Structure 1
């Protein structure tokens, strides 16, 4: 049975301008420049540069904000005068005093050259191989990952060779060709595990008592070595502490990821461009926004002239009316984009300025222990913006400080109470934990229980599991793996 019903409900819908602004705020400097370039290519009514042009007022599109629904716009309804202005210096021209077009090269450098795998294949040409061996060798090289390892079993490789390359070879034959692959540079490439990788590298070193002992340790006592059972190693191999220390030093000089050492692996190098700069001038903090975030934009003079021509024309043809509708659409889009850039610039500056003053003690000293507990809501409340807006600014932006280039979101941290009942940042506790571990006796590293006791003595009563969590976040291994001789 069909039933008609009338229902009222409130809902929020973001306008295209709001969506555009949110997306722009999220972009870091380099991505923003790419987005700007794309918009300039797609919208002929938008131009960049310092050319003095006629353009519209802030009232540019006041009467057209609601025109972009399902309603059809007629050319005759467009008031051309609203698009024309005698204002020679448009107020939305975005300028910045700290940037000149000559200041820096804006092109992004890319790595180029021979790929890692091609480098290995090229080396195969120095071997005398028959057709089958060549096919197996190239397949093995193709199975090497970016770290330089072959992570698959020879059985799987044998099956794949048969199915994909029509090469029928047993494991013994593949193993023989793999030994040739192990002779390629960088040393250790093509290994199936860490033990084999280190052994291949050691075998290429010139013979000495320490390398011989290192080979013996890796081949016969790899498990004891990885667990740092130095006393057991010394007893098993009948050597003194000094001899063992030299052998361990030989192993520590080896590369556990030989693939990563190839400089021509054709990866794009990501260059961080700071979006903000903080400097200390006479004891006061000064914040500047990277000038590349403040481009100069204006509406095309040609489009302005086309509107003038349409205004004075007595007989308006259908093609002229179609053209004026197209022009209106492009001019509106250009104005929206310029306004969005201006709002982006203001939002970035206001947000970072609030963060800078909130963490003023840190920015003046560089001491991470001075970082105050700060969450997104703290800044959002200060600048009267949404938490999501602050998150968009913090997540992908960097600031150049006197102490290095920092990711803004790293300044945010939760609070914990110390013994005096004061709120302290978890970053402060992590820094102290890091310092305690750096100063420990590496022969007897501190366990998580002992670290918790030391922190409690310093006035930070936290549980052992919390210490373990912070230690893992700092990428510091457990006590057993920090042991040295």
Structure 2
């Protein structure tokens, strides 16, 4: 095959390293970004925490406020150092370059293990807050170690506890546990396993290690032996629990020969019992939400402010930056200059992130003023394209900004994506937000008659009377999304 040379012209989009960093920081949540800042502080000596607790970026604090003018004397030393080397360091890298192509790497990015070397002075509760959560098995074993039992019963108890599910119920029957222990314990009777199980059921939380709901509720009901309706309640749980679950109060009243008032008191008593005792021991990790922006009304004007307290304030280390021109060797000078440029690009990316976040949040608030004034029912339909067109950005950028970003409002904390919803046409030719429709359904369900709840067809008819044409299956979809049970399960006496 003959070799030859050919020239081709083409175009392609390539992002600069600065743009890649800015996009990556833009889509991070507040907690992830805080972790990213700590990693960068460990890897770059030219960046440090601002002890003066000033914000690391100077951007508008609200919609109507302006940035404060900085004094030239505050950065005179830094500007002097910058002027000496900025001519040799490009302001931006070319689009087809990497960090190491132009500069030597200043440091290796740290990993999560670097946090082990940090000084957590004053944080005496650090270990307890970062310890793994206690499971239901751990909680029961801790009580078992404090209980006086024979070695044989303790071995049976351990086998039972291993079969406890997170909701507190046993995954297998006592008979299956007895069969699995028969080969290990001589002359083991099923009565021994049952006796140990009954004893474990009185551990905290009461009702654990039960086989089914009836068994769990009966164990918890023992604490109300002195209640005047104890026998009637025990009878309903023991024999008529399916009728109670289906809310067939007419049939239940006829079979138990109880009047409506007595049945109401019994239902109130049963509602004090916990059908999922294991839920009292939460083994999951707690998720904390830190709002990125705050919305408040000042002098009849809704204002948006960034939550600058959510992230640690950072600044350039002036001592190290001044060494760029006084370094003993050229390698040291290059290292300092490289680190300084990376630190400035990082701070510029943070500033760009905050400016974009504030701009998008301000746009959302301006378009959803009725929500802040009147509530969810006044929510207007809005999609990503609406905000992107108003702020002059791409829809993908708006999607990154609104993902895992939260807004603190007088009505609570909401994710920015909460304010985006599709629309439904009204009879008058207008549009209604799906979020507003869900709020209307929730309000109608809250105000419905207790003995005769509204069906999905009835809810659709009520909305149609208000000019909102919604199909029954759409009402059912919205109702299920809000975890509202169907009408037959919402029937109640009280």
By the TM > 0.5 criterion, same fold?
Answer: yes
Instruction: Look up the match of 2:39.
Output: 38
Q: Is the 8 A contact 1:366 1:403 kept in 2?
A: no
1:161–1:11 distance in 2 versus 1, CA, 3 Å: farther
Q: Which moved more, 1:451-460 or 1:385-394?
A: 385-394
State which of 409, 417, 431 in structure 2 corresponds to 1:409: 417
Q: CA deviation at 1:484?
A: 0.9
Aligned to 1:392: 400
1:65 equivalent in structure 2: 93
1:122 is matched with 142
| Contact kept in structure 2, 1:201 and 1:254, CA below 8 Å | yes
The answer to whether the 8 Å contact 2:321/2:340 transfers is no
Paired residues of 2:17 and 2:98 also in contact (CA < 8 A): no
- Which residue, 422, 442, 446 being the options, matches 1:434? 442
Residue equivalent to 1:217:
236
User: 2 CA distance for matches of 1:31 and 1:74?
Assistant: 27
Match of 1:297 in 2: 314
The secondary structure found in structure 2 opposite 1:121 is: helix
Equivalent residue, structure 2, for 1:201: 220
2:426 to 418, 428, 438: 418
| Bigger shift: residues 63-72 or 184-193 | 63-72
Structure 2 SS opposite 1:309:
coil
- Is residue 142 of structure 2 the alignment partner of residue 133 of structure 1? no
Q: Secondary structure at the match of 2:167?
A: coil
Q: Does 1:227 align with 2:246?
A: yes
Which residues of 2 match residues 254-333 of structure 1 at below 5 A? 254-262=273-281, 268-292=285-309, 296-310=313-327, 320-333=329-342
CA contact (8 A) 2:456 2:475 kept: yes
Unaligned 5+ residue runs, structure 1? 76-104, 314-319
- The corresponding residue for 1:150 is 170
- Rounded to whole Å, the distance in 1 between the matches of 2:99 and 2:457 is 67
Contact 1:445 1:480 in 2 (8 A): yes
- Preserved CA contact (<8 Å) 1:111 1:269: no
CA distance in 2: counterparts of 1:452 and 1:152, whole angstroms: 44
Instruction: Indicate conservation of the 8 Å contact 1:234/1:244, yes or no.
Output: yes
Q: In structure 2, how many angstroms separate the alpha carbons of the residues matched to 1:405 and 1:72?
A: 45
Distance in 2, matches of 1:30 and 1:294, equals 9
Deviation at residue 16 of structure 1 after TM alignment:
3.4
CA displacement at 1:63 relative to structure 2: 5.3
Secondary structure of 1:441 counterpart: coil
| SS of match in other structure, 1:62 | coil
CA distance in 2 between partners of 1:170 and 1:13 (Å): 74
2:479 is the alignment partner of 1:478: no
Indicate whether 1:243 and 2:262 are aligned.
Answer: yes
Query: What CA deviation, in whole Å up to 9, does each residue of 1:226-253 have, x standing for no partner?
Result: 1111111112222222222211111111
Structure 2 spans left out of the alignment, 5+ residues: 53-73, 105-122
Q: Distance in 1 between matches of 2:430 and 2:189?
A: 69
Structure 1 equivalent of residue 27 of structure 2: 26
Deviations 1:39-69 (A, max 9, x none): 1112112122167662537968535613944
Cα distance, 1:449 vs. partner? 1.2
Q: CA RMSD in A?
A: 3.3
| Shift in Å, 1:336 | 1.9
Q: Is the 8 A contact 2:218 2:234 kept in 1?
A: yes
Match of 1:175? 194
Counterpart check, 1:56 vs 2:82: yes
The residue aligned with 1:337 is 346
CA distance in 1 between partners of 2:223 and 2:103 (Å): 80
Whole-angstrom distance in 2 between the partners of 1:476 and 1:71 = 56
| Deviation (angstroms), 1:309 | 2.0
Distance 1:441 1:73, change over 3 A: closer
Partner of 1:192: 211
Structure 1 length normalisation: TM-score?
0.81
Q: Distance in 2 between matches of 1:255 and 1:3?
A: 81
Q: Distance in 2 between matches of 1:157 and 1:230?
A: 38
The alignment partner of 1:56 has SS state of helix
Asked whether the 8 Å contact 2:421–2:435 carries over to 1, the reply is yes
Alignment: residue pair count: 442
Change (3 A) 1:162 1:382: farther
129-138 vs 466-475, which moves further: 129-138
1 CA distance for matches of 2:397 and 2:415?
Answer: 16
Alpha-carbon distance, 1:415 to partner? 0.6
Superposition pairs of residues 9-24 of structure 1, within 5 angstroms = 10-24=11-25
CA distance 1:152–1:322, change in 2 (3 Å): farther
**In the alignment, which residue of structure 1 is the partner of 2:363?**
354
Task: Tell me by how many angstroms 1:451 deviates.
Answer: 1.3
Find the aligned partners of 2:199 and 2:364 in 1 and give their Cα distance: 58
